[in-house]
A = this chain, B = another copy of it.
């Protein structure tokens, strides 16, 4: 027998109590019990988003939230800037293009910092406000890079472009003060730091974005947030929602707030620091620099001699630890360790120990225990 450790960027493991809550009996989604539930969840999620704006829970994957951010607030023919340095940033640009937006990509290589200087320059040049929005993925889980939202927010300054932000793999795990940073639209998914199974997207909308909705010439129905607001006003959703995830969310938010936001952020910082220290101690090369390192996902370049699928197979089969490979152009080049949601420092130690043993089994020269030691030191330093 062996325990299983899910150390991928998502879906993340769910706490036992949340799993049990998923077994909820069904009930009327147009009745008083649901009204109380959605009102409570909405209010609590706003605390995590640190927003007093609007917030909606959609029955969809995180990508449904991404599409909602595009189709509700942009118009065909409008010009936007898409900051891209990974597969999810690229996806956001692609959705906008599909819906007829003129996307100007300010791109960096996957794993490189965004071209902040270019962004500043383009916004400064745009005196007539032709750039209607900026899209960015806060935490590029494809590369383990955390883009600098605070800086982007400052660079945007008083420019009228909306800031549309993907925080799928960071919201809740990292401090993202949506209102303070003027993030106009911000979305996440249930299966990451919120410690729930996949199936829900959560999206916040500030008043500036909301006012643009009426002008959007884009077509939408399932993801129409105006309809979502009409129904939220009477404590409902327009369409039958994923009730089980919503009932379980009540439990997961209770766990979240009993740890507390600050302590949760600190735990994620420790897990990321421990993981990175361990990789360095083992002589493995990290994909992204210290300053931009993600606090929820760590990407590691593979040693020449190692085949990623074999490494993943040994870790899974011999030690019960599931890690992720690379996506898109990074496939076969990196492996990724997820450390977000209901994951603890001790799980990180397990993953590092398993990685050491798997490398040894694949005849890669590794000092057993050295990665674990480095992680322990980070954890002890707190």
Which residues in A have some Cβ–Cβ distance to B below 8 Å?
4, 6, 8, 10-14, 19-20, 22-31, 59-64, 67, 94-95, 98-100, 189, 191, 197-199, 219-223, 238-245, 322, 324
Contact = CB atoms under 8 A, between A and B. Distances in A.
A19 B20 CA distance: 9
22 contacts: A6-B27, A11-B29, A14-B25, A14-B26, A19-B25, A23-B23, A26-B191, A30-B324, A31-B322, A60-B222, A62-B239, A63-B221, A63-B238, A64-B222, A67-B222, A98-B219, A197-B242, A198-B242, A199-B244, A219-B219, A242-B245, A244-B245
Most B CB contacts (10 A, CB to CB) among A10, A19, A28, A243 go to: A28
A20 to B, nearest CB: 6
A60 B62 contact: no
Contact of A63 (B22, B23, B222, B324): B222
Contacts of A4: 25, 27
For the complex, would chain A's binding face be called helix, strand, loop or mixed by DSSP majority? loop
A55 to B, nearest CB: 19
Given A63-B239, A198-B243, 16 more contacts: A6-B26, A6-B27, A10-B240, A22-B22, A28-B324, A29-B198, A59-B64, A60-B60, A60-B64, A61-B222, A63-B221, A67-B221, A94-B221, A98-B220, A197-B243, A199-B242
| Copies of this subunit | 2
Nearest to A64: B222
Nearest to A218: B219
Nearest to A67: B222
A120 B223 CA distance: 35
A94 B31 CA distance: 26
A51 to B, nearest CB: 24
A322 B29 CA distance: 11
B61 A198 contact: no
